[in-house]
Amino acid sequence: MSEKSKADGEQKLEADGEQKLKNKEYMKELRNLQSKLCLLQEWVKAKGLRVVIVFEGRDAAGKGGAIKALTERLSPRVFRVVALPAPSDREKSQLYVQRYIQHFPAKGEVVIFDRSWYNRAGVEYVLGFCTPEEHDRFLELCPGVERHIVNNGIQLIKIWLESSEQEQKRRFEARIDDPLRQWKLSPVDLLSRSRWFDYSRARDLMLNATDTKEAPWYILRSDDKKRARLNCLAHILNLLPYKAVPREKVKMPKRSMKGAYDDQASLKGRKFVAEKY
């Protein structure tokens, strides 16, 4: 990110009366929350829980960073991230939610959707990838489908990351300037800039139709990425009560010397990676 973009971001926080979170403070609290998530992970396995977490929001709202903060210290076999590409011709002919439901959790799993069936309520609707009738039908049926999911013992958590127009603009500009982030800027992302209010209206229609008692939406303010990540992790921990699962004390076994030999000498003559660093 350019120095100008960083400065603009800091000035915005100061204008809003909010100081930028220092990295040391952020990392300390992140580690604390991630330690608790490790305890939650053991609880999920021990109790055979099934959890689905849906992350939605505008382009550049910070979904990827929030998901990374949530999962980076956890086992991908327990906290599994699903980020589906555009549907194939075969998938387009299926029941709409079919391609998502096949990724749902078994006992002892948490599945995190980086975008989900709510594509139909957002990008598909705004950019014309589905018909208005298909969009209306989705909003009509979705609450019933989610009610069925919840009634079958799956805990469904839906999080909408809400960033401001100014912050989205700043992040897009940072992606343009940063070669390490340019891959994040797709033609669809750029369209989301020019059609900001179309996406806002689609969001409002989605929330009005699908923010239900059984599967409510939680809005996460995400202009400040660090605070958003911490708030997100704390919120998920609050929604999934857990207890520490007793674990046997680990003892390091002694190395057996039976059949000992020089196992480094046997590697001589092999191809090694050049040690440039």
Q: State CA 10 to chain mean position distance.
A: 25
Element (H or E) spanning 79, and its range? strand 79-82
Give yes or no for a contact between 59 and 188, defined as CB atoms under 8 angstroms apart.
yes
Out of 3.40.605.10, 3.40.1280.10, 3.40.50.300, 1.10.540.10, select the CATH number for domain 19-241.
3.40.50.300
What's the pLDDT tens digit per position in 122-153? 999 999 999 999 999 999 999 999 999 999 99
Q: Is the pLDDT of residue 159 over 80?
A: yes
HSE (side-chain half, CA atoms, 13 Å) at 14: 6
What's the pLDDT tens digit per position in 62-117? 999 999 999 999 999 999 999 999 999 999 999 999 999 999 999 999 999 999 99
Give residue 191's pLDDT band: very low, low, confident or very high (50, 70, 90): confident
Tokens read off for 81: 């991230």
Cα–Cα dist 180/126, whole Å: 29
Residue 261 DSSP one-character state? -
**What is the model's pLDDT at position 1?**
43
For residue 152, give Cα distances in angstroms to 49, 146, 192.
Answer: 12, 10, 36
Helices (H), 121-224: 123-126, 132-151, 165-177, 187-194, 196-210
Domain ranges of the chain: 19-241
What's the pLDDT tens digit per position in 194-215? 899 999 999 999 999 999 999 9
What's the pLDDT tens digit per position in 215-269? 999 999 999 999 999 999 999 999 999 999 998 899 999 999 999 999 999 999 9
